[in-house]
Amino acid sequence: MFNKFLRENKIAAVILTVLRLYLGYSWITAGIGKLTSGGFDASGFLKGAIANPVKGPDGAVVFGWYVDFLKHIALPNVDIFNVIVPVGETLIGLGLILGCLTTTAMFFGLVMNFSFFLAGTVSHNPRDIFLGFIILTAGYNAGRIGLDRWVVPFFRKISKKETGDVKHKVSA
């Protein structure tokens, strides 16, 4: 019932637009801030996340697999991550603010939120993850008041042409 409300209701579309704009503003300001400062370097954050991983009440590392990812993939390729993070944050923010490819933008926003969360950064991530799942669940309706109103039908039309998905009339 709540799912149907999120996915189809016009009032929900208005509420989702407010949530989308709020999250989009957070993402775009974070991304642009990193891009314009000229000195964004994720290596300090990565080294800190590796040195102080998330631990359970017994003192054992909870997300050892993620620490290994940071140690063996992210840190050696920090120059790539120094570009991916701010550009990604900016594109996520643009997608959410414009309501263009909203579910895609939110999906990648959630991937980044979970990445920060697994690295031990709590701050506003739980709230952003919660709101992100609401937007992701709403699907098309989250971008109805935005460019998705035209973009999504366009992609659906192209997709049907490429796959040859044509409805045939059945005569009795």
* pLDDT tens digits along 99-131: 999 999 999 999 999 999 999 888 888 999 999
The count of domains in the chain is: 1
Q: Which amino acid is at 23?
A: L
The pLDDT confidence band at residue 167, using thresholds 50, 70 and 90, is low
CB proximity list for 88: less than 8 A, separation 6 or greater: 31, 108, 112
Which residue is associated with the tokens 């991550």?
Answer: 81
Containing structural domain, residue 117:
24-163
The pLDDT confidence band at residue 4, using thresholds 50, 70 and 90, is very high
Q: Is the pLDDT of residue 172 over 60?
A: no
DSSP class of residue 72 equals: I
Q: pLDDT tens-digit profile of 30-44?
A: 999 999 998 899 999
| Residue at 16 is within a domain | no
Q: Would you give the distance in Å from CA 120 to the centre of its chain?
A: 18
Tokens representing 22 are 């709020």
Q: How far apart are CA 47 and CA 42, in angstroms?
A: 9
| Residue at 49 is within a domain | yes
- Reduced to 3 states, what is the DSSP secondary structure of residue 10? helix
Report which secondary-structure segment, H or E, holds 53. Answer: none
CB-based contact 51:119 (threshold 8 Å): no
| Residue at 112 is within a domain | yes
pLDDT at 59: 93
> What are the φ and ψ backbone dihedral angles of 55, each rounded to 5 degrees?
-120, 150
Q: pLDDT tens-digit profile of 6-17?
A: 999 999 999 999
| Residue at 4 is within a domain | no
| Residue at 18 is within a domain | no
| Residue at 119 is within a domain | yes
pLDDT at 26: 97
Arithmetic mean of pLDDT, 62-83: 96
CB-based contact 127:109 (threshold 8 Å): no
pLDDT at 24: 98
- Chain mean pLDDT for the chain: 92
CB proximity list for 144: less than 8 A, separation 6 or greater: 10, 13, 16, 99
Among residues 57, 28, 45, 19, the alpha carbon closest in space to that of 115 is found at: 45
Q: Is the pLDDT of residue 138 over 90?
A: yes
| Residue at 41 is within a domain | yes
| Residue at 5 is within a domain | no
The pLDDT confidence band at residue 169, using thresholds 50, 70 and 90, is low
